[in-house]
């Protein structure tokens, strides 16, 4: 049995954006196919002749609206609630017709993060506990979790419909549903701190976090009030200039690492080059992209994370336009990554670093 589709999870309501992104990126990579989804479902299927090759051609870190990227092995419908395990084992056995048996390193049983999918969380947990020993007994799952091997995913769409999928742990999100579980710290000035924490966890790898976030570095937070993003930078060892005409939470200033400058973030510039600049200002995305490009072009910072607030329509088109505008106007060699994070809403988060 040959994999017939990519299955990508996303934020409910952003299926059209993910479908448009997959369609465009597949065409650029030379693959013909089509996206299939329903509004508010929380996932998109991209069907093509050689889904495995497309999976390799579309690295997960390049996708913006996908929380998780999976290769679908079987679409199992009309499952009998009294025995869902047998059809899964049979589907796995069918894969041996295409090659040697694979042993998976982990099993994740999941569901879309949607109104219809969330009630399946209990089923997913219980079924994982029942399926795991059956897979090990049949030789499909290693006796201990092994992240070096492919991961097996069962994604429930309903109690009678599940998709059997796999992922390469080096090319997929390392969290179930693609969602890192972060908790609001009691000292955080605002919930927006979770967005920057997730961005640092999602858009940078372990080596980059150690290399690019070090004690004594200096950064700026544009549109800082009440200080959530400044607080995250301070926790990572930075000295921060928080730029906003509005007030910061008083305890943030007690750290001794924050200077509050009452100014407009779109016009302020540093007196000397900084390591970091972050920005979560509510403004037209093209205007933000242009200002961020100025920072990189002029060498005012080496690394940046910023948000682009998207319009209600043609959000994929606006995303491509803003990212192209940013890279063109920065006019310097950069590594750029973007993602719609779990803690984002009508926006995407961008990380850029000078090469």
- 309 classed as catalytic: yes
String of DSSP letters for 196-242: HHHHHHHHS-HHHHHHHS-TT-EEEEET-TT-HHHHHHHHTT-EEEE
- Going across the sheet that includes 151-158, the strands are 33-37, 43-48, 5-9, 68-76, 161-167, 151-158, 106-110
Name the 3-class secondary structure at 291.
helix
Catalytic residue, candidates 69, 195, 210, 309 = 309
Is 171 known as a binding-site position? Answer: no
CA terminus-to-terminus distance, the chain: 43
Is 178 known as a binding-site position? Answer: no
Is 264 known as a binding-site position? Answer: yes
Give the residue from 48, 32, 29, 27 showing the smallest Cα distance to 8.
Answer: 48
CA distance 355 to 351: 13
Length of the chain, in residues: 355
Is 147 known as a binding-site position? Answer: no
Is 192 known as a binding-site position? Answer: yes
* Cβ 276 vs Cβ 301: under 8 Å: yes
Tokens coding 37: 């989804």
Is 227 known as a binding-site position? Answer: yes
The conformation of residue 307, written as its DSSP 8-state character, comes to: E
Phi and psi angles of residue 235, each rounded to the nearest 5 degrees, phi first: -65, -20
Q: Token pair 């390591």 is at which residue?
A: 275
Annotated binding site for S-adenosyl-L-methionine: 192, 225-228, 244, 264, 280
Q: Which sequence positions are flagged as catalytic?
A: 309
> Residues annotated as binding site?
192, 225-228, 244, 264, 280
């Amino acid at each position: 049995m040959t994999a017939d589709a990519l299955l990508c999870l996303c934020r409910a309501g952003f299926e059209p954006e993910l479908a448009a992104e997959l369609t465009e990126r597949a065409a650029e990579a030379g693959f013909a196919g089509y996206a299939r989804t329903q509004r508010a479902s929380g996932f998109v299927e991209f069907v093509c002749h050689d889904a495995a090759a497309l999976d390799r051609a579309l690295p997960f870190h390049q996708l913006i609206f996908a929380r998780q990227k999976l290769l679908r092995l079987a679409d199992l419908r009309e499952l009998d609630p009294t025995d869902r395990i047998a059809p899964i084992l049979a589907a796995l056995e069918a894969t041996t017709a295409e090659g040697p048996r694979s042993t998976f390193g982990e099993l994740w049983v999941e569901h879309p993060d949607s109104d219809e999918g969330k009630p399946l969380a209990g089923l997913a947990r219980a079924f994982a506990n029942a399926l795991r020993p059956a897979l090990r007994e049949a030789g499909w799952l290693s006796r201990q979790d092994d992240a070096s091997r492919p991961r097996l995913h069962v994604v429930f769409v309903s109690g009678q419909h599940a998709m059997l999928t796999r992922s390469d742990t080096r090319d997929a999100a390392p969290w179930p549903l693609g969602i890192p579980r972060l908790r609001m710290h009691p000292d955080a000035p605002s919930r927006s701190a979770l967005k920057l924490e997730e961005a640092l966890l999602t858009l940078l790898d372990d080596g980059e976090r150690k290399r690019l976030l070090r004690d004594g570095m200096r950064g700026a937070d544009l549109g800082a009030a009440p200080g959530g993003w400044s607080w995250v930078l301070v926790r990572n060892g930075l000295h921060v200039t928080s730029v906003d005409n509005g007030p910061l939470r008083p305890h943030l200033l007690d750290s001794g690492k924050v200077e509050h400058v009452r100014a407009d973030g779109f016009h302020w510039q540093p007196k000397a080059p900084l390591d970091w600049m972050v920005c979560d200002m509510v403004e037209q995305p093209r205007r933000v992209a242009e200002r961020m490009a100025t920072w990189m072009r002029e060498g005012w910072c080496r690394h940046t994370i910023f948000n682009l607030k998207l319009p209600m329509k043609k959000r994929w088109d606006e995303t491509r336009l803003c990212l192209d505008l940013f890279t063109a106007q920065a006019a310097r060699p950069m590594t750029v990554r973007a993602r719609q994070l779990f803690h984002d809403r009508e926006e995407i988060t961008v990380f850029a670093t000078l090469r």
